[in-house]
Structure 1
């Protein structure tokens, strides 16, 4: 799966924004990266988000997951896409506690993983009395997802605590954010600014990158290739810093989740 967001929608961390000489191109100009994705993935779909960016995924990736199922028989990897009330979401992976979350969010029996992610985000956006860290931490399984809320022009991106689903991100030549489960696609658009998306973390348009597994801050560590050149950053938990425990606002308080998530 692939998502590219205009820098006005999702401002990437400054650590991902490297010099123009890093081999990055413009991912959005003339539909470059969307066209490249379609040319390299059969049965692909591109969802245009107008000036905000686009989503892309391939149904043929499901076949790949089935083919490697004998190696990872319990992973149950799925690639799902859904749009609900102008909330667009791409999900790859599997949620283990899906029955519990369906009940928690009041969803029917036919709801799937992508429905749960959308509803979890809606809970945050509409002033649900839960810290974002707690909401994402409550999703058990192997997953990576990307959500775009067209109403608030905001994004919500996350990966599981073990980084079970390969997930990468980077910044293109114009500062737009690129995220994908295919490292080669990210490198095509971002050059050497491409990096693994940190496991156990989530990224929002207004809040930036945060860890939901630890209360510690994150620090960027340069990745160096075989020639000694910096090629992106790896974000790790900084054991020397610790954030304060997030407060849980009471229902009806002035806490406005839509301004933060």
Structure 2
């Protein structure tokens, strides 16, 4: 699957952006990357998102244990690859009928975050158990929601093209074709939103970018890892009367 999103919709992390001289091209201009995807993937479909970008996916060469799904509900477009293990629990939680599948659950989880908050996004994504990667685009709010499971079970990559647009795909070569060296694996156990950027839903720590170096010693994109030396926000207040030495807590 492939998603290319205009920089006005999804502003990629600064660390992910490299100069155009590093092999990046314009992924949206003249339908370049959509055409390349269609030519290299049989039985492919391209969904035009107007000026916001496009989605593309192929029904061929699927892993039967990690199927690809696509759905549109109320102008929310979602590409999903993988399998949710606690699907019955989530159907009940989000009030979905028995015929609902994984992509329906992701769309409804996003709708809950958007309309019925306040729910922490980390809690919503953490509640999805299984092997998965997904990209959601909300045409109404012009925002996106992207995530990968904690083990990175589904190969998932992202990068920035020469014009600063975000490219996300399960095909590493497609991302390299559009982004050159401004590409890297999407960090496992993390999610990305238009409003909040890249965050880990498993750890409260900040994420730090670590350069990826190829065999010739050149930097080729960044990976993002949890920074063990930092925490988001303030630590929780210790319980009154505790015998623990809380001086080390701050």
Q: TM-score w.r.t. structure 1 length?
A: 0.87
Contact 1:129 1:250 in 2 (8 A): no
Q: Which runs of 5+ in 2 are unaligned?
A: none
Once the two structures are superposed, residues 175-223 of structure 1 have per-residue CA deviations (whole angstroms, 9 ceiling, x without a partner) of 0000000000000000001100000000001100000010000000000
Contact 2:2 2:56 in 1 (8 A): yes
SS of aligned partner of 2:181: helix
CA change 1:73–1:185 in 2 (3 A) is closer
SS of aligned partner of 1:60: coil
1:241 aligns with 2:221: no
CA change 1:256–1:123 in 2 (3 A) is farther
Distance 2:162 2:3 in 1: 16
SS of aligned partner of 2:61: helix
CA change 1:239–1:49 in 2 (3 A) is same
Once the two structures are superposed, residues 138-177 of structure 1 have per-residue CA deviations (whole angstroms, 9 ceiling, x without a partner) of 0000000000000000000000000000000000000000
SS of aligned partner of 2:51: helix
Distance 2:246 2:94 in 1: 17
How far 1:130 moved relative to its partner? 1.6
SS of aligned partner of 2:180: helix
CA change 1:107–1:9 in 2 (3 A) is same
Structure 1 or 2, whichever has the larger Rg, is 2
SS of aligned partner of 1:114: helix
SS of aligned partner of 2:215: coil
Contact 1:225 1:231 in 2 (8 A): yes
How far 1:250 moved relative to its partner? 23
Stretch moving more, 196-205 or 236-245: 236-245
Distance 1:35 1:46 in 2: 9
How far 1:20 moved relative to its partner? 1.6
SS of aligned partner of 1:250: coil
Contact 2:190 2:202 in 1 (8 A): yes
How far 1:128 moved relative to its partner? 2.3
Once the two structures are superposed, residues 90-136 of structure 1 have per-residue CA deviations (whole angstroms, 9 ceiling, x without a partner) of 00000000000000000000000000000000000003232000000
How far 1:253 moved relative to its partner? 33
Question: What do you get for the CA RMSD once the two structures are aligned?
Answer: 7.1
Once the two structures are superposed, residues 24-76 of structure 1 have per-residue CA deviations (whole angstroms, 9 ceiling, x without a partner) of 000000000000000000000000000000000001133xxxxxxxx9999xx
CA change 1:28–1:110 in 2 (3 A) is same
Contact 2:66 2:82 in 1 (8 A): no
User: Alignment partner for residue 98 of structure 2, among 62, 85, 109?
Assistant: 109
Q: Which runs of 5+ in 1 are unaligned?
A: 63-70, 75-79
Distance 1:188 1:95 in 2: 30
CA change 1:36–1:252 in 2 (3 A) is farther
Contact 1:126 1:257 in 2 (8 A): no
Distance 1:156 1:255 in 2: 40
Moved over 4 A (4+): 71-74, 245-261
